[in-house]
Amino acid sequence: MSTAQGRGTHAKAILGPELYAKLENTHVLLVGAGGIGCELLKNIVLTGFGRITLLDLDTIDLSNLNRQFLFRKKDVKQSKALVAAQTASAFNPNVKITPIHDNIKEPQYDIPWFQQFDLVLNALDNLDARRHVNRMCMAGNVPLVESGTAGYLGQVQPLLKDRTECFDCIPKPTPKTFPVCTIRSTPSQPIHCIVWSKSYLMGQLFGEDEDADAGGELDAAEKEGENAQEIDALRKEATAFKAVRDALRSPTNQDAAHLVFQKVFNADIKNLLSMSDMWKSRSPPIPLDFEGIMNGSFVLRQGANADASTSKLPEAALKDQRTLTLKDNVSLFIDSTNRLADRLRNGEDTISFDKDDDDTLDFVTAASNLRSSAYGIETKTRWEVKEMAGNIIPAIATTNAIVSGLIVLQALQLLRKSYDKLRNVHLQFKPAVPLSTISLSLPNAQCGVCRDTYAVLRCDPARATLGEVVKGLLGDDEREVSVYEGQRVLSDPDWDDNNERTLESLSVTRGKFLAIVDEEGELTTLSVGIALLPDDHPADAPPFILPSPLPQPARRVKPPPPAPETPHKANGNGKRLLPVELDDGVIDMAPTPKKPKRNGLAPASVPNGPVSVGTKRKATGREGEEDKSSPSKKRRLEEEGLVVMDGVDDKLEEEPDFILIDD
């Protein structure tokens, strides 16, 4: 038996001849060639999937080599998709791999493009891209296996239109954000200083000049009578930053880094200290003295960072993991600022943070640590700053390997159409039970992605108008609708100005979706994916081809009504507060008085007696008479602040206003 013939012997024995024969003609789209993607590509090649399209936008970085084993040092800066395909092809010559170095969100990857695949496997670490692939698979009714890892944790989730929930059925947590004032003026955690260095200081010094028109704006504000003192302070700050920016770009100024240090870590901090109210309940920052730090005479503060400028900590084996002293951070700040200034002087217009750019990483590390030192916050190593600034979750090769194996198992169940055996699989940090499986949930009836009704409209956007397209899609349906593209309103029942405009003029082109929304909210949204006309479409034919049959949106499932709230218990005895109107018209919430008992017995009630709202009467129950009201009913009435009278002849000690419930 030849090597090529024997290569799939074990897979054929395990999967069975029928499924194994099916793999040869299965066309798979693998999106992502990173940590999971490399392992997964190796797995599906060796399993015997015959046609694989591999798409990834990224290039290989040196830091990838510790876990993305399809790459070597010689491949750094090359396309991940191209190198991974070339390396994996040698594992199984019978497999055809088509690599694409591109962004999956490009318009040419539309619904018909996705529909050519039997299966889509996601190996992405980008939330926006994952949501895009999920929507395209829901629109094209293509099975998708979604996956992700975070350190020792992992998840694999098969997704199938109308059978399982989709990626967007459960809202995903939004990235952590911080108040601007905290970042700019009152940081209290290392991440605050890192975000300030990365997002604010880098942009102010090396990004676009956002203050170019600040002078004119301030002059206009002054003419309008706004606070002159505040405007003067803003003008001084803008002028100072402009001087620093100009110095960084001037080929003759060799002291620009020192000017930046003096402004940011000395003058700006002194300016903050002048606002005494800000520091009444928090420790004030300490302005940093450049000369004092460099000659060793500067004392920062007592406490955790008191000797940060002079302490000699044991150096780690790797420079990225070494704790930097205050003097180290000053030296690194000056050096990295000079390197970035040289890049500006050599023609770069702007420079933004990139975790793989040593110059920007050194700058953010030094700047954030200096700010942390000034505010008495713990400093971080270069590696820790890279993790936090680059939003890096530690990647572990073993986790990627386990998850990629689980993806293949779920993919095989989809190919078998064994939908009852599909499972959502979690990899847990529990040695006793490392894997847990959960039966898949049904789609969320309120999901704005998988519950839409999808269709494909092939058209020439340069000739097809919005009005005729919408009319053609609705057919004989005369209901009122609004039309959207993304968040943009293109038309509604009271505004049809765009109906005569072409789709192209409205930027509704290939790969975009037209959303036709029922104004009454009774039917689901009709999401129409725009695709190009076939090459053989006659030039004199209509500029679009309607889907056949026309899509029929389903009736929308109404969300269940909210459960009634439990009445608020205001005091320990379970009595709810009653509103009491005072003489001045103010309503005071007073507690309901407790009903007194007579001879240890609750007063009896008569079903047809009047019920009053207000002051409770003294108990006058008749001895020997059976209490006809149940305890639960009496309790409910008392909680509502009502008094049950014994009879029509009973009198109240006071004369309150009352409402006669049953006469």
Please tell me the distance from the alpha carbon of residue 159 to that of residue 157, in angstroms, as a whole number: 6
Active site residue 181: yes
- φ/ψ of 578, rounded to 5, equals -105, 140
Residue 455 zone, left/alpha/beta (φ > 0; ψ -120 to 50; rest): beta
Q: Which residue is it, tokens 């890049």?
A: 343
Torsion of CA 403, 405, 407, 409, to 10 degrees: -140
Long-range contacts of 441-446 (CB under 8 A, 24+ apart): 441/164, 441/165, 441/169, 442/163, 442/164, 442/165, 443/162, 443/163, 443/164, 443/165, 443/166, 443/169, 444/165, 444/169, 444/170, 445/557, 445/559, 446/557, 446/559
Cis peptide leading into 549, omega within 30 of 0?
yes
What is the distance between the alpha carbons of residues 401 and 455, in angstroms, rounded to a whole number?
Answer: 37
Question: Is the separation of the CB atoms in 376 and 304 below 8 Å?
Answer: yes
Question: Which of the residues 181, 447, 450, 459 is marked catalytic?
Answer: 181
End-to-end C-alpha distance for the chain, whole angstroms: 101
Q: How far apart are CA 407 and CA 317, in angstroms?
A: 37
CB of 336 closer than 8 Å to CB of 248: no
Nearest one of 435, 438, 439 to 403, comparing CA atoms? 435
- The backbone torsions φ and ψ at residue 652, rounded to the nearest 5 degrees and listed phi first, read -95, 145
Q: Which residues are catalytic?
A: 181
